[in-house]
Amino acid sequence: MKVTIKSCCLVEPAESTWNGCMALTESDQTGFLTHVPTIYFYRPSLNWLTSSKQTMFETLRVSLGKALVHFYPLAGRLRWLAGSRLELDCNGKGVELIEARTESDLDELGDFSPSPHFDHLIPQMNYSSPIEEIPLLSVQLTEFRCGGVTLSYNISHAATDGQSALHFITEWARLARGEPLAEEPVLDRKLFRAGEPPSARPRFEHVQFDPPPLLMGQSSSENERRKETTTAMLKLSKAQLEILRNEANGSITAARGYSRYEAVTGHLWRSACMARGHTREQPISLGLCVDVRRRMKPPLPDRYFGNAIIDVVARSLAGELMTRPLGYAAGKDIHALRTKEGAGAVFYGNPNLWVISWISLPLTGVDFGWGKDIAMTPGAHAGDGDSVILPGCDGDGSLVVAICLQSEFMEGFKKFFYQNIPN
């Protein structure tokens, strides 16, 4: 797919905002020196195309400046401090907005599963530049020959977690439609800092940065990192989810019963283990990302803007995971969440797995004035073993698993994933 960049600009807050340095929390700085891509797909309505006095790009540019008045940290830049610590310089330098065009049709993207084609539809970040020059947010609007568009963004994980990023996108869309802001972000990061002044290095008292296990017989993960990977998006209907949840709850006694998230996560872990063909003695781990807004005492505000997540890890032997009932894997998830054994910023590919849940996030239905999206997906995966659980687009109670695995294991994974949960 050939994509041509038509224009590119920096969008600053439409009004003067607070300028100064904002200390980042420990959660902001634990392995998050990266940008996270997301992409929305649209078929614009004819009514909007014929009645609007502004182009889509102009609508986005004007409303983005208004949104940055409220979410002004995104218009700033990161910078290094002594002790390998970052802070956020709220200097109003702005975010990047790109206008692009392709002669391809939207239908050529099929079911919108992540693919190499998406690389051209998502703004690429230049990490060779000094960190003080890299925008925290870069957005790209790409027009297709058929009239459809994609809207993608790459957002700094040091500045936001998924919930905060989606709060921003939702409010930006409201402003683009000419509506007022619904909920102001809570920008005070002192609510989630470890001490005043904060410790010299990012930490949680419970975190143990033990690396995930390697494949038996290997001394590093380099060979696994270099192997070809592929991605898939696998749907689980409401009925299939009920089968998994019943299986998990029927196989082991749980005080409250396993949720669909715990059942699906355990099923993912077990299916990947089977597909990879591990020996019974192979140590394996599962990395999980946990939102702690409601787990704090006192709880953080729902609209706390920043990172309020921690990483935890579950561990097992492959033989135990593959031969025991699903409730065993689901129980490992709960144990990890309760003990909060830390996971570092390391490779979580073969023989391990990394799962992020977006189940509770308002991912779809984002309308900038030309109609709601027809699909939304993570723009890319970090690599082998990376997976995301998403709500289905149809509002039918389904879930979608987006997963990246080494290519040689993907077909086997699909087989085990659907083996005992018929449509």
Going by pLDDT thresholds of 50, 70 and 90, the confidence category of residue 200 is: very low
Judge if 232 and 142 occupy the same domain: no
Would you call 214 helix, strand, or coil by DSSP?
Answer: coil
Indicate if 268 and 180 belong to the same structural domain: no
Q: For the segment 6-46, what is each residue's pLDDT rounded down to a tens digit?
A: 999 999 999 999 999 998 887 777 655 789 999 999 997 77
In a domain, residue 210? The reply is no
Residue 206 pLDDT grade (very low, low, confident, very high; cuts 50, 70, 90) = very low
Quickly list DSSP for 30-74: SS--SEEEEEEEE---HHHHHH-SS-HHHHHHHHHHHHHHHSGGG
Instruction: Report the catalytic residues.
Output: 157, 367
Does residue 239 sit in the same domain as residue 175? Answer: no
More confident residue, 195 or 270: 270
Distance CA 80, CA 130 (A): 10
Do 29 and 160 sit in the same domain of this protein? yes
State how many domains the chain has: 2
How large a percentage of the chain has pLDDT more than 70? Answer: 89
pLDDT at 342: 52
So what's the pLDDT on residue 117?
Answer: 76
* pLDDT at residue 322, as a whole number: 95
Could you please report the per-residue DSSP string of 152-163? EEEEETTT--HH
Q: What is the pLDDT of residue 170?
A: 96
At 256 the pLDDT is: 63
- Give CA–CA dist 347/336, Å, rounded: 18
Residue 299 covered by a domain: yes
Mean pLDDT of 292-317: 89
Question: Do 141 and 57 have their domain in common?
Answer: yes
Let me know if residue 182 belongs to a domain. yes
**For residue 218, is pLDDT > 60?**
yes
Length of the chain: 423
Q: Per-residue pLDDT for 199 more than 50?
A: no
254 pLDDT above the threshold of 50: no
> Are 246 and 157 in the same domain?
no
d(CA 350, CA 144) in angstroms, rounded, equals 37
Residue-range definition of the domain harbouring residue 311: 222-418
**Are residues 131 and 260 located together in one domain of the fold?**
no
Contacts 24+ apart (CB under 8 A), 289-295: 289/355, 289/356, 289/357, 290/337, 290/340, 291/161, 291/163, 292/27, 293/163
CB 100 within 8 Å of CB 6:
yes
Choose the most confident range, by mean pLDDT, from 107-116, 333-342, 401-410: 401-410
| Same domain assignment for residues 97 and 234 | no
Q: What is the pTM of this model?
A: 0.87
**273-300 average pLDDT score:** 91
- With tokens 């299939």, the residue in question is 240
User: In this structure, are 64 and 159 located in the same domain?
Assistant: yes
Give 361 or 10, the one with higher predicted confidence: 10
Write the CB contacts of 161 (distance below 8 Å, at least 6 apart in sequence): 27, 291, 306, 307, 308, 309
pLDDT above 90: residue 65: yes
CB distance 143 to 103 below 8 Å: no
Tell me the C-alpha distance between 309 and 306, whole Å: 9
pLDDT recorded at residue 186: 95
254 and 388 fall within a common domain: yes
How large is the average pLDDT for residues 256-279?
Answer: 94
**Domain assignment of residue 203, yes or no:** no
Q: Is residue 168 part of a domain?
A: yes
What pLDDT digit, counting tens, does each position of 81-108 carry?
887 788 999 999 999 999 999 999 999 9
Nearest C-alpha neighbor of 372 from the set 133, 46, 42: 42
Whole-angstrom distance, CA of residue 135 vs CA of residue 180: 26
313: in domain: yes
Strand, helix or coil for residue 148: coil
- Residue 201 reports pLDDT greater than 60: no
Domain of residue 148, CATH code: 3.30.559.10
Residue 205 within a domain = no
Q: What is the mean pLDDT of the chain?
A: 88
On whether residue 216 sits in a domain, the answer given is: no
**What pLDDT score was predicted for residue 380?**
64
| Residue 294: burial class (beta carbons within 10 Å; 0-12, 13-18, 19+) | exposed
Is the same domain home to 259 and 153? Answer: no
Per-residue confidence (pLDDT) for residue 312, from 0 to 100: 87
The predicted pLDDT at position 32 comes to 58
Q: Is the pLDDT of residue 336 over 90?
A: no
Summarize the confidence of residues 67-81 as an average pLDDT: 96
Q: Quickly list DSSP for 264-330.
A: HHHHHHHHHHHHHT--TT-EEEEEEEEE-TTTSSSPPPTTB-S--EEEEEEEEEHHHHHHS-HHHHH
- The torsion region of residue 367 among left (phi > 0), alpha (psi -120 to 50) and beta comes to beta
SS3 content of the chain, % helix, strand, coil (to 5): 30, 25, 45
Contact status, residue 133 vs residue 77, Cβ threshold 8 Å: yes
Whole-number Å distance between alpha carbons of 287 and 281: 19
Same domain? 303 vs 394: yes
Radius of gyration of the chain (CA): 22
